[in-house]
Amino acid sequence: MVTRAAQQKMSTGQRLKARQASNEQEVRLTVKAVLPPPGTPLDVKGALKALHKVGSLALRPNIRKKVLAKLTEELAKTLPQTSIKPTDLGAKDFADLADRMVKMLERAGYAEYGIAELRRKRAGLRHNFAGELFEQLVLNHGELQAIFRDLAEDGLRTALDVITAEAVLRQTLSAADYAGKTRLLTAKGQPALLDLASFVDKNGRSLVTIERVVDIRTRVGNSWRMFTDTAYVVRFTPVGGGTPRVMILVETEIKLPAAARDFSGQVSEAQFRHGAADEIEMRGLESGAKHTFTPDNVIFDVGGISRNAVTITRRRTMTAAFRYVEYAGGGREQYTRIGLSVQVDELRRLIALLFRI
């Protein structure tokens, strides 16, 4: 074990290496019975406990494979007793879901903590994992995503009509007067000055495709922060070339009930928070490709964007209600609060498998 005094004299790299060695030593002392020599049968249950403690640090690929097999078996027993299917969570089958759940453990940084620290963090990790599963339920909810896509298509049609109408205004109004009337603004709050030819060709055929993005985050200085869970957007290049831009059509924030009290500020202040960033990053849900933009290249139709907050309702059917947020400087923003009929206990039951198998 590494003492605190010794750690203080180490470089950052040395401290990390020492921590990993310390973790590995704890694992071998705690679960040495499940780390057998080659040829000896594996105690899968004990190996999973090792995974709970330090992620994949002490697990060889063959052990991880057997751990996944065990978790797949338990999911096959448990999931049919709930209303949730693997496809509801974005997985093809039980095996794919098991792999995704183990990756949740690894993303939580299990290998960076000592065993005592992990025990203290267990309650918080359970809540985080439940939140991740609920986010997957929302992203794979067929009825809800069909509604959001329809809203995005309506939003794009409206935006194109606004671009056409505002092109006339730009010819008749001064720059100052136009800035006070335009609905199409950058995240910085400046007129976007869009050209219809960036979106449709001279024959009226679309040049852009609506796509779903996730993991939208902002950078201020050297700090990255998660910002919005998912959105429908169109990416485009200005006619004649230039820096790629993105128009956000539908924004969606996803939270479990315990965290949903923060919805109003987070959803309604989206444009202003984008504007305060140095950089905005988003990842295509289907393509997996990451796209980065500066605030002056992120566009909002402030009169047409659909902002949504999704949580869980106790009712048996999906609910939706309009909410308004009053700004300190005057004015208000509307968003839709949507409640999905999901049993929180079912999510907790799945998470419990990660900690009890």
What are the tens digits of pLDDT across the range 50-84? 444 444 343 456 666 777 888 888 889 888 988 88
Bridge partners of residue 245, in order along the sequence: 236
Name 312's Cβ contacts closer than 8 Å, sequence gap at least 6.
Answer: 134, 256, 257, 339, 340, 341, 342, 344
Residue 119 CA, chain-centre distance (Å), reads 26
Q: pLDDT per position in the chain (357 positions), as tens?
A: 445 455 455 565 566 566 555 544 544 444 444 444 444 544 444 544 544 444 434 345 666 677 788 888 888 988 898 888 888 888 889 998 888 887 776 555 444 444 455 555 556 666 677 778 888 888 888 888 999 999 999 999 999 999 999 999 888 999 888 888 888 989 888 999 999 999 999 898 999 999 999 989 888 888 888 778 899 999 999 988 889 999 999 999 888 876 666 665 555 555 556 778 899 999 998 888 999 999 999 998 887 888 888 888 877 777 777 666 655 445 556 778 888 887 777 777 887 776 665
CB 138 within 8 Å of CB 252: yes
Measured CA to CA, the distance from residue 261 to residue 68 in angstroms comes to: 36
Tokens of 29: 């002392």
Using a cut of 0.75, tell me whether the model's pTM lies above it.
no
- The answer to whether the CB of 217 falls within 8 A of the CB of 281 is yes
Residue tagged 């092109």 (tokens): 167
Q: Nearest CA to 229 among 241, 217, 218? A: 217
Question: How many other CB atoms are found less than 10 A from the CB of residue 164?
Answer: 10
pLDDT in tens, 140-182: 888 889 999 999 999 999 999 999 999 998 889 998 888 888 8
Residue 95 Ramachandran class (φ > 0 left, ψ -120 to 50 alpha, else beta): alpha
Cα angle vertex 232, ends 230, 234, to 5°?
135
Report the DSSP beta bridge partners of residue 312: 340
Pairwise CA distance, residues 68 & 89, whole Å: 17
Contact 88, 140 (CB under 8 A): yes
Candidates 198, 199, 167; CA nearest to 182 is 167
* Cα–Cα distance, 128 to 132 (Å, whole number): 6
DSSP characters over 25-85: HHHHHHSGGGSPPTTSPP-HHHHHHHHHHHTTTT--HHHHHHHHHHHHHHHHHHGGGSS--
Measured distance CA(145)–CA(244) in Å, rounded: 26
How many Å apart are CA 48 and CA 33, to the nearest integer? Answer: 12
Rounded-to-integer distance, Cα 29 and Cα 204, Å:
69
Distance separating the N- and C-terminal Cα atoms of the chain: 28
Q: Which of 84, 94, 73, 81 is nearest to 138 (CA)?
A: 84
279 in Cβ contact with 333 (< 8 Å)? no
Half-sphere exposure of 284 (CA within 13 A, CB side): 12
Residues 6+ apart with CB under 8 A from 1: 22, 25
